[in-house]
Structure formats: structure tokens, C-alpha cells
Amino acid sequence: MITGPRTRWPSLAYVLPFAVFLILLEFQRYVPLSPLLDYPLRLVILSAVLFVFSRHVIDLHSSHRIESVILGVLVFVIWIGPDVLFPAYRQHWVFQNALIVASSPAVPQNVLMSPVVLASRILRSILLVPIIEELFWRAWLMRWLISPRFEQVKLGTYAPAAFWATAVLFASEHGSYWDVGLVAGILYNWWMMRTRSLGNCILAHAVTNACLCGYVVATHHWEYWL
């Protein structure tokens, strides 16, 4: 019997897009390209990886559209809430220390406002990142931590260690925003448990990111775009 990568490495479709996403972030740090090239290029590469390797596991059907939208807006409010209420909140040492991974290198505001850069970042944040992260965190890691044969574990299956490890690791991905990242991870994990649907989690995540994009563009708080 001839077996392809999909059969031999079932994790590939869930893990590879996230791995490429992180590699591109690191590539930007060490081999800086012009943002006018870098952001569109990342958009194209990530789209291609998703299409080639992951399209058979992506489920965009949402059975709880209204509730998912509400959850997405709630996570957005939680994300910006501490900084709106307490402007110096993020300067505390628990968010600024040697253990916290620094965010991406600063890009001049006039470059960020370029139509090409702006459109690339917004499209990536709303259309690609929710799919990439939900595939990795909720569709793969939460199940893989329960059993390496994760495909035999139903979406949304609850195991305390898997639930909390996924939430904590999701928080660590967000650098100095780890606190709100932890809350978001818990809520997204819970939504996966509650609905057992990848599509619902992708929709909630996309709404959160869409709200953040609107807030960033309107207020120029570029720090939210890690």
C-alpha cells in the first residue's frame, strides 16, 4: 500500500502552518526585508501552506455563529481592557522582564499605514491567523496531549492537563500580553469543549482579531500587532 504524508504524519496538516508562521516571524528578525515585500510575502506563503497541506482538515462551518461572534467581541474587550483602564498597566515588571519574548521589531508608522502593508496585515490577522492557531492549539495540541493518536480523540474532549497546558502555552505565545492571552486561551478552549467545532473557534478568533485590527487602525496602538 502506498501512503502519503497525510497518512504517515497526520499531525503535519495541523502543525506545519503554525511552524511556518513562527519561522517567518524569526526570519523577519534576522533577515529584515522591506515591509512592502515582507508582509505580502508572508501572506502568500501562509496561504499556500494552508491550501497545500491543511485544506482537508479545515472546517469553517459554524453551528453557533451569533454566540461565536459574541465570544470574539468579549475576548477583544478583555484584551484591550487593562490598558484602557490603567495606561501604565503593561509597564509592570511582570510584563517587562528577561523571560518575556520581545515583540516584533518596530516598523515606522508611515510604513504601517501603507495600503499594501495594512491590507496584508489585516488579511493575515483576520483570515489566516485564526485558522493557523486554532488548527494548532485547539484542533491538534489539546487532543495530542491526551493521546499521540490524536485523531481518535474527539474535538473538545476535556482533560485537565491538556486544557490548562494548551491555555498556558497559548498565553506564552503572546509575549507581554500573556495575561490576557491566558484568559483568551481559556475561553477559546472552553468554546471548543462547549461546541466541539473548529469552525466556531475559528469564527470567534477571527472576530477578536477583526476588532483588534479596527482598534489598532483607528487608535494607532500598533503594539497590539505583535
The predicted structure's pLDDT at residue 223 = 85
Asked if 198 contacts 59 with a C-beta cutoff of 8 angstroms, the reply is yes
- Cβ neighbours, 10 Å, residue 87: 9
- Cβ neighbours, 10 Å, residue 22: 13
- pTM score above 0.85: yes
Q: Which amino acid is at 23?
A: I
Query: What pLDDT digit, counting tens, does each position of 179-201 carry?
Result: 999 999 999 999 999 999 999 99
Q: Which amino acid is at 45?
A: I
Q: What is the mean pLDDT of residues 11-26?
A: 95
- State how many domains the chain has: 1
Place of cell 516571524: 25
Query: What pLDDT digit, counting tens, does each position of 56-74 carry?
Result: 999 999 999 999 999 999 9
Domain holding 95, by residue range, is 5-224
The predicted structure's pLDDT at residue 133 = 98
